[in-house]
Chain A
C-alpha cells in the first residue's frame, strides 16, 4: 500500500545509505560516479538534511581530486579538455601520464557540471578553483554546428552537453568557455514540428532534450523568464507550440511522460515541469494528479522508482525530490530549476 504522504525521513535514510556505499548494481555506472554523488549531495541539500550527515570538507577534497590539470598553459590549446574525471576508475597518478604514451583517461563535460554543482551546493568558493583551464579547454569540445562533445576523444554530440557547458559557464560566472551564438543556432534547429525539442536536429521531441534546450537558452539570456506574461510571440522559439506540447505531457494517470503516447515516468515531472516553470506555465499543471502519481512511485524504504511499483534508483529518486520541491512540499527547499539544485545553493548563500 503506497504511502499518502512524502516520506521525508525515509528518503533521508535512503540517501544516507547511498552516501556511505552504493550497492553493486551501480558498478556499471562507475564512470558517472560524480553524477551519482551529485544526486546524493544535492538530494540531501534539497531535503534540508542536518549538517552532520555531510562532511563538506571531505566532499570538497574528493571532488577537487578529480579535476584534470594541464601541465602548462600552452596545453589548453592542444584540443584536450581539462575538466573533471567522471570517476577514479581510469585516473592515474600524474607520473604515469607523464611517462606513458596514453593520456586517454579523459575528463567529461557532464561530470564537470556535476563537480561544479556539488562544490556550489556545499558552499565551496568557486573563485578559488582553476576555472580558466576548464573554460578555455571547454571550447575545444564545441563543434562547428554549435553542439558540444562530452569528451575530447570523440563521442555523440547533442543538446545535453550544451546544457552542461551553459550551466558550467553560468556557475563560474564566465562565458568565455563557449560560443553562445552558435549554441543558440543549434538549439533552435532542435525545436521539432510539434513544439518540443529533440536531442539533435530532426530527432523526436523529448522531455529531457526540451529541458536542455530551453534551460540553456534561458541561462544564456536568449529567452526571458516567465515569457508567457510577456511578449511570447516575438520569442526566438515557438512558445505557444512548446507550451501546448509540455502541458500535453501530463498523462491521465497524473504523471508526466517524456514523449507522446509513452508511459509516465517520475523524472519527467522534473524535466517538463522545469520548462513550464521557466515559461511561466507551471500554474497550469494539475498538481494534485501529479502528486498522486509521484506518491505511487515512492518506495516504502525511501527513494522513487521510474514507474509505480518498481524498485527505486538514485536517478529517479533525485528527480522525485526535485518534483516534490516544485510542488512546494513542506520540508523541501525551493528549487532552482535552471541549475538543478536548491535555490539557496544557486544564489550562493
Chain B
C-alpha cells in the first residue's frame, strides 16, 4: 500500500465531529486545565475533540442514540474513564436499549485491551440485569479471554463472580483440568481449582474433596517436582488442618519419591521441613534419601535432620540462602 493510500484510509477512519452534520447543533466544551497545570498531557486532536463533544452532551445530559454512539467512540480512546462508562449506562437505561449489544461492545473493547477495570465492571452490570440467562455467555466470554491470556486476573475475577452470583459450576472442575493439562504451571488454574473445590455447591467442600485432589496433585508433583504451584496447592488441601498434613503418609511418600530421584528437590525439602515442624517423624528411608542428596552436593552433616535440610537448601536455593540460614537459626532457638 502506498503512503498516500494509507493517509486517505486514516482520514476515512475518523471524521472530526465538527465536520459531521448530525453534530452541527452541539457546541463542544473544552477542558479547563486551569492556571499552572501539573503533568499536562499532550492530547491528540481526535482525543481532544471527542472529549470536548462528550463534555457537551454530558453537561446537557443528553440521552440519545447519538450520545450512545459518542460514548462508544470516547470509550475506544479513553477506556479507563469511568465517568464515560457510567454515562453510557444512564443512556442505555433511558433508551431501554438491547443489552445483548453491550456484550458485543465489551467484547470489542476487550480485544483492544482486556486489562481494564471499567470494562469488566460494565460487563458485570449487564450480566446482573440479564441474570441467569447470562451465565453461559459470561463463562464463554472469560474462556475466550483466557484462551489468549490464561492468567488474566480480570477474567478470573469475573468468572468467579459469575459462578458465585449466577451459577454454572457444573463443568468448572473439568475446565480447570483442561487448563492444567495444557499448562500445569498455570497458577491461576490451580487457584481456580481451589476455588471450585472449596466453594462449589455441587461438591462437598475441602474435606470431602481432599482424597481425590491429593491423588491428582501428587501425580502433577511427580511429573514436575519443580512446580511451586502444585506443591502449594497440596499444602492448601490441608489448610487449617496441620495434624492431617503431618500425618498423611502420602505427603511424606511423595517427598521421598522426589528426593530419591534427586532432581529438582527444593520444594520436596522445604515440604519435609514443614512436615517435621508440624510433628512428623521422618522414617529411616527419608533420612537416607536426604543424606544421599547431602553427599552428592558435598554438604556437611548436621546434628539433626532439619538442620541438614536447611543446609541443603542453602546450597540448592542460593538466592534464598539468607532465608534458609535464618530458618536453621530459629530451629536452634526452638531447641534451647
Binding site for B on A (CB under 8 A): 18-19, 21-24, 26-33, 36-37, 40-41, 55, 58-59, 61-63, 65, 88-93, 96, 100-102, 104-106, 108, 151, 153-156, 192-195, 198-200, 202-206, 241, 244-245, 247-248, 250, 252, 254, 259-262, 281, 283-286, 289
Q: Is B169 an interface residue (CB 8 A)?
A: no
Whether A89 and B82, one on each chain, are in contact in the complex, defined by CB atoms closer than 8 angstroms, is no
Q: Interface readout for B163-200 with A: 1 if CB under 8 Å, 0 if not?
A: 00000000000000000000001111001101100110
Contact residues in A for B239 (Cβ distance below 8 Å): 193
Contact residues in B for A91 (Cβ distance below 8 Å): 32
Whether B39 and A37, one on each chain, are in contact in the complex, defined by CB atoms closer than 8 angstroms, is yes
Q: Is B79 an interface residue (CB 8 A)?
A: yes
Contact residues in B for A248 (Cβ distance below 8 Å): 228, 320
Whether B120 and A193, one on each chain, are in contact in the complex, defined by CB atoms closer than 8 angstroms, is no
Interface residues of B in 126-184 (CB under 8 A from A): 151, 153, 156-157, 160
Whether B117 and A156, one on each chain, are in contact in the complex, defined by CB atoms closer than 8 angstroms, is yes
Min distance, Cβ A26 to any Cβ of chain B, angstroms? 5
Contact residues in B for A88 (Cβ distance below 8 Å): 31-34, 37
Quick one: which of A24, A36, A199, A259 contacts B42, CB cutoff 8 A? A24
Chain A residue nearest in CB terms to B324:
A284
**Complex alpha-carbon distance, A105 and B54, angstroms:** 12
16 contacts between A and B (CB under 8 A): A19-B38, A22-B42, A30-B41, A30-B81, A40-B39, A55-B36, A61-B35, A90-B81, A156-B117, A156-B121, A193-B239, A202-B198, A203-B156, A261-B185, A261-B187, A261-B228
Chain B residue nearest in CB terms to A203:
B157
Whether A93 and B191, one on each chain, are in contact in the complex, defined by CB atoms closer than 8 angstroms, is no
Whether B41 and A58, one on each chain, are in contact in the complex, defined by CB atoms closer than 8 angstroms, is no
**Complex alpha-carbon distance, A244 and B274, angstroms:** 11
Stretch at the interface among B55-63, B253-261, B294-302: B55-63
Quick one: which of A93, A101, A289 contacts B319, CB cutoff 8 A? A289
Stretch at the interface among B14-22, B230-238, B280-288: B230-238
Chain A residue nearest in CB terms to B239:
A193
Chain B residue nearest in CB terms to A29:
B80
Quick one: which of A37, A96, A151, A200 contacts B82, CB cutoff 8 A? A151
Contact residues in B for A156 (Cβ distance below 8 Å): 117, 120-121, 124, 157
Q: Is B323 an interface residue (CB 8 A)?
A: yes
Contact residues in B for A36 (Cβ distance below 8 Å): 39
**Complex alpha-carbon distance, A33 and B320, angstroms:** 39
Quick one: which of A19, A37, A100, A203 contacts B191, CB cutoff 8 A? A203
Stretch at the interface among B43-51, B99-107, B215-223: B43-51
Given A37-B38, A40-B39, A102-B58 in contact, is the A260-B82 Cβ separation under 8 Å? no
Contact residues in A for B23 (Cβ distance below 8 Å): none
Contact residues in B for A19 (Cβ distance below 8 Å): 38-39
Q: Provide the main secondary structure of the chain A interface.
A: loop
**Complex alpha-carbon distance, A204 and B195, angstroms:** 9
**Complex alpha-carbon distance, A115 and B32, angstroms:** 19
Contact residues in B for A63 (Cβ distance below 8 Å): 38
**4 tightest A-B contacts by CB?**
A193-B236, A204-B191, A58-B36, A284-B323
Quick one: which of A40, A96, A198, A259 contacts B151, CB cutoff 8 A? A259
Given A62-B34, A284-B323 in contact, is the A202-B160 Cβ separation under 8 Å? yes
Chain B residue nearest in CB terms to A253:
B319
**Complex alpha-carbon distance, A41 and B39, angstroms:** 10
Q: A37-B38, A248-B228 given. 12 additional CB < 8 A pairs?
A: A27-B78, A30-B43, A31-B81, A89-B31, A90-B81, A92-B59, A193-B233, A204-B191, A244-B270, A260-B228, A284-B322, A284-B326
Contact residues in A for B35 (Cβ distance below 8 Å): 61
Min distance, Cβ B328 to any Cβ of chain A, angstroms? 13
Whether B121 and A192, one on each chain, are in contact in the complex, defined by CB atoms closer than 8 angstroms, is no
Whether B232 and A22, one on each chain, are in contact in the complex, defined by CB atoms closer than 8 angstroms, is no
**Complex alpha-carbon distance, A245 and B320, angstroms:** 12
**Complex alpha-carbon distance, A285 and B59, angstroms:** 53
Whether A65 and B34, one on each chain, are in contact in the complex, defined by CB atoms closer than 8 angstroms, is yes
Contact residues in A for B235 (Cβ distance below 8 Å): 193-194, 241
Whether B82 and A24, one on each chain, are in contact in the complex, defined by CB atoms closer than 8 angstroms, is no
Chain B residue nearest in CB terms to A104:
B86
Q: Is B227 an interface residue (CB 8 A)?
A: yes
Whether B77 and A193, one on each chain, are in contact in the complex, defined by CB atoms closer than 8 angstroms, is no
Min distance, Cβ B336 to any Cβ of chain A, angstroms? 16
Min distance, Cβ B150 to any Cβ of chain A, angstroms? 11
**Complex alpha-carbon distance, A65 and B35, angstroms:** 10
Min distance, Cβ A337 to any Cβ of chain B, angstroms? 19
Min distance, Cβ A243 to any Cβ of chain B, angstroms? 8
